């Protein structure tokens, strides 16, 4: 007599083992499977996922086409090829020429393609093409006419609404007794131990605008 219960148990065990092996193989072959469904992940794992996606020629062509059709609506495209004062020495970006270069260039991944497009637009140093961080930096002028780098006075008002589910994570990274709200309007004394203007200018080369960066030493207003 055959013990069907034993056979079924064996099938279940074998099936579970096979499923586990398939899951393991999937995770090993698909870097994105390692971060699926997670809210916070290791940057290296995220990059591995992004760089695993190949460029789809049809999608790439469509992206370039849409961007080219959108640019005529932006006044900055023409004059920033040779920007007027006071930006004469800072901005020399020909978006149309760079888009032609990107169109013909090969990329290892879809991420590399998008990174090139992003950096190209941010060469304009135009706030229209920028990212948002919870403590964006701005230049404020005091009563004597002196300018200094500050965290935007309305920073928390915006971030707490737009990124309500992230506030606890950001605040957990702050020193004890400091909250994001308490940083509204704070004067920035240094960024990564450098003069804030030096750090802001360096960051603008990547972000395209003045944004918060790295370790910030502040003086509360």
* Three-class secondary structure assignment of the chain: CCCHHHHHHHHHHHHHHHHHHHHHHHHHHCHHHHCCCCCCCCHHHHHHHHCCCCCCHHHHHHHHHHHHHHHHHCCHHHHHHHCCCCCCCCCCCCHHHHHHHHHHCCCCCHHHHHHHHHHHHHCCCCCCCCCCCCCCEEEEECCCCCEEEEECCCHHHHHHHHCCCCHHHHHHCCCCCCCCHHHCCCEEEEECCECHHHHHHHHHHHHCCCCCCCCEEEECC
For 34-62, give one letter per residue: b (16+ CB within 10 A) or e: bbeeeeeeeeeebeebbeeeebeeeebee
| Number of structural domains in the chain | 2
In a domain, 177, yes or no: yes
pLDDT for 205 beyond 60: yes
Q: Does residue 9 sit within a domain? A: no
Q: Which of 70, 98, 129 is the last residue of a domain?
A: 129
Separation between Cα atoms, residue 158 and residue 127, nearest integer Å = 17
What pLDDT score does 211 carry? 40
Cα–Cα distance measured from residue 28 to residue 5, given in angstroms and rounded to the nearest whole number:
34
My answer on whether 111 and 43 are in the same domain is yes
Same domain, 163 and 185: yes
Name which residue leads in pLDDT, 74 or 210: 74
pLDDT at residue 189, rounded to an integer:
92
> CA 186 to CA 220: how far, in whole Å?
5
Are residues 125 and 141 both part of a single domain? Answer: no
Instruction: Return the C-alpha torsion angle 106, 111, 114, 116, nearest 10.
Output: -60
Residue 108 resides in a domain: yes
User: Any bridge partners for residue 188, and if so which?
Assistant: 218
Res 31 pLDDT > 60: yes
Predicted pLDDT of residue 18: 47
**Is 189 domain-assigned?**
yes
pLDDT reading at 39 higher than 60:
yes
Lowest-confidence pick of 52-56, 135-139, 215-219: 215-219
120, 151: one domain: no
Task: Round the average pLDDT of the chain to a whole number and report it.
Answer: 78
**The pLDDT of residue 210 is above 50:** no
* Residue 30 placed within a domain: no
For residue 41, tell me if it sits in a domain. Answer: yes
CA–CA distance, 185 with 150 (Å, rounded to integer): 6
Greatest mean pLDDT among 19-33, 79-93, 126-140, 156-170: 156-170
- Domain holding 164, by residue range, is 137-219
pLDDT confidence bin for 214, thresholds 50/70/90: very low
Q: Please say which residue of 129, 155, 190 terminates a domain.
A: 129
186 CB-near residues (< 8 Å, 6+ apart): 150, 151, 218, 219, 220, 221
Check residue 106 and give its pLDDT.
96
121 and 55 in a common domain: yes
* Claim to verify: residue 109 and residue 45 sit in the same structural domain: yes
- Asked if the peptide bond before residue 115 counts as cis, ω within 30 degrees of 0, the response is no
Q: Residue 75: its pLDDT value, please? A: 74
Judge whether 170 lies within some domain: yes
Q: Tell me: do 71 and 92 sit in the same domain.
A: yes
The two structure tokens encoding residue 123: 């060469």
- Mean pLDDT of all residues in 195-207: 76
Domain boundary among 80, 98, 129: 129
**115 and 40 assigned to the same domain:** yes
Residues 188 and 212 in one domain: yes
Q: Is residue 14 part of a domain?
A: no
């Amino acid at each position: 007599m055959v013990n069907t219960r034993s056979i079924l148990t064996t099938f279940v065990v074998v099936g579970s083992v096979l499923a586990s092996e398939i899951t393991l193989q999937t995770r090993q072959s698909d870097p994105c499977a390692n971060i699926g469904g997670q809210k916070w992940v290791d940057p290296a794992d995220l990059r591995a996922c992004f760089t695993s996606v190949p460029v789809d020629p049809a999608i790439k062509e469509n992206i370039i086409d849409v961007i080219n059709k959108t640019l005529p609506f932006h006044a900055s495209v023409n004059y920033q090829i040779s920007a007027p004062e006071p930006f004469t020495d800072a901005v020399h970006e020909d978006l149309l020429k760079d888009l032609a270069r990107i169109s013909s260039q090969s990329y290892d991944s879809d991420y590399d393609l998008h990174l090139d497009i992003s950096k190209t637009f941010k060469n304009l140093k135009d706030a229209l093409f920028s990212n948002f961080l919870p403590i964006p930096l701005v230049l404020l002028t005091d009563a004597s006419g002196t300018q200094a780098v500050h965290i935007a006075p309305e920073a928390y008002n915006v971030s707490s609404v737009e990124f309500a589910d992230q506030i606890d994570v950001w605040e957990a990274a702050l020193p004890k007794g400091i909250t994001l709200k308490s940083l509204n309007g704070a004067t920035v004394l240094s960024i990564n131990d450098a003069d804030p203007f030096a750090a802001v200018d360096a960051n603008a080369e990547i972000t395209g605008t003045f944004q918060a960066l790295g370790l910030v030493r502040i003086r509360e207003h």
